[in-house]
A = this chain, B = another copy of it.
Amino acid sequence: MSEGSVTLKKLAEQFASLPGIGRKSAWRLAFHMLTLNKEQIEIFTNTLLDAHENIHKCSVCQNLTDLNVCEICSDQSRDHSIICVVEESRDIVVLEKSNSFNGLYHVLHGLISPLDGIGPDNLTIKHLLKRINGSKIKEVILATSPTIEGEATAMYISKLLKPMEIVVSRIAYGMPVGGELKYVDEITISKAIENRNKL
């Protein structure tokens, strides 16, 4: 069996190393790249190098940004009295798309996970506490995912925030909108029943 062009194989391997890209997709992407012209390839590689060089954590909320203070933290039209705590930057992309929140964020860059050796000190929890201390923050929404690690992290932060005389809330559990009862797991259903709202 011929392995084909070594350079091409290397390129396919690079793509295959990315998350969610299987062997066949990696080859398809490698071949696709050869159909682009020199300028398109340079735009692609330069965008990548540029992003890698210039994107860093916002000094306030720890979200990824090109600026010193990200555009959300410096936007005066947003509610600066409420912080939504999320696991990672891409959660902010989803929340912003939902148009359901107009306050500020705080990115933990992970969840407490003792099995993976990740403790509270590996997250940005100390930045959150420092940020809230002496500020006009009235509420913190803990929006980590409803997984074991997400729950544990929310509980941990909630205990630290309790003495600070601010409202600490947790995103609601329930049925995903558009989801069918028969396909939803039992724990979600029992949470949806438990948290039922009067009509």
Q: When the two chains form their complex, are residues A43 and B14 in contact, meaning their CB atoms are under 8 A apart?
A: yes
**This protein's copies in its complex:** 2
Smallest distance from the beta carbon of A157 to chain B beta carbons, Å? 23
Smallest distance from the beta carbon of A55 to chain B beta carbons, Å? 6
Q: Does A128 contact B (CB under 8 A)?
A: no
A144-185 with Cβ < 8 A to chain B: 182-183
Q: Does A92 contact B (CB under 8 A)?
A: yes
Smallest distance from the beta carbon of A98 to chain B beta carbons, Å? 9
Contact of A51 among B7, B20, B43 (CB under 8 A): B7
Instruction: Identify the closest chain B residue to A19 (Cβ).
Output: B32
Q: Given A71-B2, A99-B1, are A47 and B93 neighbors across the interface (CB < 8 Å)?
A: no
20 example contacts (A-B, Cβ-Cβ < 8 A) are as follows A1-B96, A4-B92, A4-B96, A5-B55, A6-B66, A7-B47, A8-B66, A10-B47, A14-B44, A19-B28, A20-B25, A21-B29, A27-B90, A27-B93, A31-B90, A34-B51, A34-B55, A41-B52, A42-B49, A45-B48
Extra contacts besides A1-B97, A10-B47, A14-B43 (19): CB < 8 Å: A2-B71, A4-B71, A4-B72, A4-B96, A5-B64, A5-B65, A5-B66, A6-B66, A7-B66, A8-B51, A8-B55, A8-B66, A14-B44, A14-B47, A21-B29, A31-B89, A34-B51, A38-B52, A45-B45
